[in-house]
């Protein structure tokens, strides 16, 4: 089922054809969202964390960057494809250019 995720200061609000679901990442400042491969989504949480939502709706923390992030984008592949230093550089480089406050995750 498609879902619309909305980044908010108190979590990730989830909407579907049946209405609003429970807030995910509740209590976290979610400042950016981006679609990822396989129906997954990425999120910036609490300014410095990167979270991934799997196709099943379960969230897990990918990384804590040590820098404030403003946006996130997936360019294919997975975090394991890149060394930590390159991953952090990419996050910092994208932060000032990309911003998507809401996205639609495919089924």
Distances (CA, A) of 7 to 35, 48, 86, 97: 13, 15, 26, 18
**pLDDT of res. 101:** 40
Q: pLDDT (tens digit, 9 = 90+) per residue, 43-85? A: 999 999 999 999 889 999 988 888 898 888 877 555 554 444 4
Q: How confident is the model at residue 98 (pLDDT cuts 50, 70, 90)?
A: very low
Tell me the whole-structure pTM to 2 decimals: 0.71
């Amino acid at each position: 089922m498609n879902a619309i995720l909305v980044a908010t200061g108190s979590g990730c609000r989830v909407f579907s054809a049946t209405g609003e679901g429970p807030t995910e990442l509740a209590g976290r400042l979610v400042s950016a969202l981006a679609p990822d491969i396989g129906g997954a989504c990425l999120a910036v949480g609490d300014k410095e964390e990167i979270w991934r939502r799997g196709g099943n709706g379960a969230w897990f923390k990918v990384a804590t960057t040590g820098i404030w992030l403003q946006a996130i984008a997936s360019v294919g592949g997975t975090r394991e494809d890149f060394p930590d230093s390159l991953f952090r550089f990419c996050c910092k480089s994208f932060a000032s250019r990309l911003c998507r406050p809401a996205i639609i995750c495919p089924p």
